[in-house]
Amino acid sequence: MLDLPDGMFPAFAVTFAWSLLAAYAFWRLSLRLTDAGIVDILWGYGFGVLAAIAFLCAPAPGPRETLLLALVLLWSLRLGTHLWLRCLGREEDFRYQAMRRHHGANFGRRSLGRIFLFQATVQWVLSLPLQIAPIYPGEIALSWIDHLGAGIFAAGFAIEAIADFQLERFRRRAGTAGKVLDRGLWRYTRHPNYFGECVIAWGLFLLVSQTAYGPWFVWSPCLLTFLLTRVSGVPFLERGLRERLPGYADYMQRVRRFVPGPPRRVSS
């Protein structure tokens, strides 16, 4: 059985309480705005808040934990701000519109558990390695694995940021409604933003793996990768895109699903 530090469980209680309260607050706001899509904003900012709370609860975080927090805050602030700006002046995301139509008048009540509390719990679970790392650090000196992890994080951060920028620029361009973005990073993978997020998670894990209990949390990037590629990310999004965009079926044949690679040749 793991000899866990005494300060871990109070910190976990604080972060879990914050996750639930933030989810409830955003749910109440979504009812006023008639827009459940604001839950994505909480997803973006939430990782940074959870990591910061754990860092403040830590007895003596070292340079690795400080670096880890800086990287998480950088990622979280960019992602959260991007998702916030994306929600401004737009109608509710088509995925939540479909759920609203399906549940009818009960959607508001059901969205608390099925969307907001569920996503908050998943985020809290995925962020556990970011929470435990500063509370129980490992060796003080940074190793080559830490530098490798920071480099992988930087690559994933760049991929996700560039993909988001290219998609937003495409959406704001006149005459692109109903069309498929197949330029830039979107020429090599149908979901470069999701791919970048997975790369970020694995880069952060390498830093976490150098702390005392970090290696035990390899399941976290594995779970995120599984969710994005097999459950709520790619499959759920592509079902809606095939229905909404006439050229998306052809795009799926030409462009790789997740890991970037050269476009496939499709016979006429």
Contact in structure between 162 and 184 (CB atoms under 8 Å): yes
Q: Please identify every stretch of the chain with a pLDDT value under 70, giving residue numbers as ranges.
A: 1-8, 266-268
pLDDT, residue 267, reads 62
pLDDT, residue 2, reads 41
Model pTM score: 0.93
pLDDT, residue 135, reads 83
pLDDT, residue 77, reads 98
pLDDT, residue 265, reads 81
CA distance 88 to 53: 28
**Letter string b/e over residues 214-235, b meaning 16 or more CB atoms within 10 A of that residue's CB:** beebeebbebbbebbbeeebbe
Q: Which helix (H) or strand (E) holds 23?
A: helix 8-33
pLDDT, residue 212, reads 87
pLDDT, residue 88, reads 84
